[in-house]
Amino acid sequence: MIDTPLVMYDDDHRKILAVLQRLVRDANAKGIFLVDKNGQLVAEAGEMRGIDSTSLASLTAGNIAATGGLAKIIGEEEFPIHFHQGQRDNLHITLVAGRIILVVVFDERSSLGLVRLRVKKAGAELGHIFEEIRKKTERAQAAGTASPFAEITDDDIDNLFSE
């Protein structure tokens, strides 16, 4: 494992959630999902609870990875903004801080212009939060306390598979 693991504490989650909830209101969005570039769902807000957010996260990450590959082929670094227009609902996808993907689902109650405007501000705020998280994780790793798994025993792992 070469990359730093993403470690999110309660206060990080609260800060992230506050930004997402404000974005839901400001952008008149139906739902907002924050996804790690590797396909893990980090946080969600809005009225779309109950949808298969795990699949959404994995497919979003796949989509970003594929278009990132396309970008490189034509000499671009990345396509940081994606927009998918549906009959009812639309998706606005942005890459934040090079590592996190912000997915906004919106319908006719909002508009692409409004979403883009609000996402820009929220994206910057999220960028700061994730930069803090990254630094915190690095500090914790240096101190040897990054993972709650540091203290687990081989027995703990074996017990997981004993059933």
List residues binding other proteins (CB under 8 A).
Answer: 1-10, 12-14, 36-40, 42, 52, 54-55, 58-59, 62, 65-66, 68-69, 141-152, 154, 156-158, 160-161, 163
Question: Which CB atom, from 108 or from 158, has the smaller least distance to other proteins?
Answer: 158
d(CA 86, CA 83): 10
Which SS3 state, helix, strand or coil, does residue 155 take? helix
Q: Smallest distance, Å, CB 3 to other proteins?
A: 4
Q: Smallest distance, Å, CB 17 to other proteins?
A: 9
Question: Which CB atom, from 111 or from 147, has the smaller least distance to other proteins?
Answer: 147
Question: Which CB atom, from 113 or from 153, has the smaller least distance to other proteins?
Answer: 153
Question: Which CB atom, from 28 or from 58, has the smaller least distance to other proteins?
Answer: 58
Q: Smallest distance, Å, CB 118 to other proteins?
A: 24
How far apart, in Å, are the Cα atoms of 140 and each of 9, 12, 38, 80, 88? 12, 15, 22, 30, 45
Is-contact 6 133, C-beta < 8 A?
yes
Contacts of 90 (CB under 8 A, 6+ apart): 83, 84, 105, 106, 107, 112
Q: Smallest distance, Å, CB 16 to other proteins?
A: 9
Q: Smallest distance, Å, CB 115 to other proteins?
A: 26
Question: Which CB atom, from 23 or from 35, has the smaller least distance to other proteins?
Answer: 35
Residue 75's H or E segment, with its range, is none
Backbone φ and ψ for 153, nearest 5 degrees, come out as -105, 170
